[in-house]
Amino acid sequence: MAVQKDKAALREQIARRAEQEMESGMYVNLGIGMPTMVANYIDPDKQVVLQSENGLIGIGRFPYEDEVDPDLINAGKEIVTEAKGASYCDSAESFAMIRGEHLDLAVLGGMEVAANGDLANWMIPGKMIKGMGGAMDIVHGSKKVVIIMDHVSKHGEPKIVQECSLPLTGTGVVDRIITDRAVIDVTETGLTLVETAPGWTIDEITEATGAPLAVAENVKEMTV
């Protein structure tokens, strides 16, 4: 069994691993919640443009106290900074960029991911929500979709499942899943384990996954 890290350390580990999915020249959307943390860990040598649904093209890291501008927010209403060369547009133009398939990568949170790449991440029945947000457009308008989340729920139930039980955000849209325990690819034949998080064994990861999990020949340990 892996050495237990606190929640903040695990979230940082996931965010740092997600940063490795980015390459110079990419336009990237970071979803609300844990995905926004990824902005703090982007390699300064990478020329990556972060796009927000509310119209900020060129999001920077979260601000230090003396940098706070309460009018400068991302789509999750978190205060952010702007990167050098940032620009602004209205929400309609931002979504035209998304729907026009100009995003190279989207990093989003997830409640459930199915073996065929279905994603549920926008609501839990019976709980009040403010709206569906932009995820339904983002998952269809991005060339690659990476989901970052805990491997199991707070009740210990698998969040990677054979079939989603929650309302779907998109069908067959997920390319890769990064959790606190593993990196898993969604392929035409199902799920494939490609990396294990430090301290977790293949057997432990397989047991905590609610769908058949193939194991790549060259499985490696996640590095952050």
Give catalytic residue positions: 53
Report CA dihedral (16, 22, 26, 31) to the nearest 10 degrees.
-50
Return phi, psi of residue 109, to 5°.
Answer: -85, 170
Q: How open is the CA angle 163-36-135, to the nearest 5 degrees?
A: 45
Ranges of H-type helices in 61-219 = 91-99, 135-141, 202-207
What is the chain's Cα-based Rg? 17
CB atoms within 10 A of CB 153: 12
